[in-house]
Amino acid sequence: MPLPDHGPVDCRTCWSGCAGRERGFGGKTKTGQDRFRLVNDPGAWGARDPRILVLGMSKGNTQSDAMRQAHLDGSFDEVPFRKMRPRLLQVLQAVDLMPGESSIDHRFRETETEYGWGSILRCSLTGWDKGAYSAASGVVLRGMSDPDGKGLVPACVRQHLTDLSNRTRLVILLGNAEAYMGLLRRVFAGVFPDFRPLPVSDGTGFEAGGRTYVHVGHPSPLNGHLAQFLTGPVTSGQGAKREGARRAVAWALGPDRP
C-alpha cells in the first residue's frame, strides 16, 4: 500500500475525543504551561511509492509554523526540514545516498519518484523547556516516553508504516542518539513480528516488515554531534555509527536483496 498522497494528511488516530487541532499532555509546569504540546498537522512529501523513505522525529516549531502558512499560501513543499536541507543532504551523502547532488529542494515535490519524506511522529510534538516550547531531540524524546505520550509513536508506526509498498526497501531514520534508537527498537519489536537487528549495521539498523530501517545523524542545527557523524574517525562514536549506517544502506539497496 503506498503512502498517503503528497499533501496534508487527514489522520486523527491519536485524537479520539478531542475536536481541536492542538492539545497538551504530561501535566503542567510550575508556571502553568502544558509540559508537552501536540499539533495535529501531519503531512507527506515527495514520492507516494518511494524506493527510499526519510523520516525525522517530529516536526518542530519552524516546520509546524510553516505548515500553518502553507494552508494559506500553498507553500507546502517548503515545509519539511525547513532551514536544515543543506545539512540533510550532507547526512544522506555521508551514507552514500544522493551522490553528486547540490540541492534536494526538488525531491520534496509531488513529481518526485524515488524519495518520500515525513516523520516517525507525523503530528508536531514540542515540550516546554527553558521558557519556550522546544523541538530539541531530548525534549521530544521525553514527550515520546511520557506516560501520556508513550502511545503516540506506536500508533503512528502502525498507521503509516505497517503496510508500505514492496518498492520501499529502505527507511532512513534521522537521529541516532542511543535513547532514540532504543525507543524505536522497542516500538518496532512490539509492532512487527519479524523485527530483527541488522548485524552489518553496528547497532544503527534493523529489519521490520520486510524492509531495512537505518539511523543516521540528525541534521538539526541543535545537533552538536553532526560534524563527528559526517567526518569523524570510523573507530568510535558518531564516526562508527556513520560507517555502520553506510553498510546497512548498501546492504538494503544491494542487487542481491529481493
Domain for residue 144, yes or no? yes
Greater model confidence, 15 or 170: 170
Total number of domains constituting the chain = 1
Query: Is 11 among the domain residues?
Result: no
The count of other CB atoms within 10 Å of the CB of residue 230 is 17
Q: What CATH number corresponds to the domain at position 132?
A: 3.40.470
pLDDT digits (tens, 9 = 90+) for 182-220: 999 999 999 999 999 999 999 999 999 999 999 999 999
Contacts by 70-73, CB closer than 8 A, 24 or more apart: 70/8, 71/8
Separation CA 36–CA 215 (nearest Å): 25
| pLDDT tens for each residue of 30-66 | 999 999 999 998 888 999 899 999 999 998 766 767 6
Q: pTM for the whole thing?
A: 0.93
Average pLDDT over residues 140-167: 94
Q: What percent of the chain has pLDDT over 90?
A: 71
Distance between CA atoms of 228 and 74, rounded to whole angstroms?
A: 37
What is residue 70's predicted lDDT score, i.e. its pLDDT? 65
Residue 15 lies in a domain: no
Provide long-range contacts, Cβ within 8 A and 24+ apart, for 253-257: 253/52, 253/169, 253/170, 257/169
The grid coordinates listed for 125 are: 510534538
Reported as a pLDDT band with limits 50, 70 and 90, residue 226 is: very high
Average pLDDT score over residue span 80-107: 95
The whole-number pLDDT of residue 82 equals 82
Q: Which residues partner with 197 through β-bridges?
A: 206
Residue 1 in domain: no
Structural domain that includes position 57:
20-253
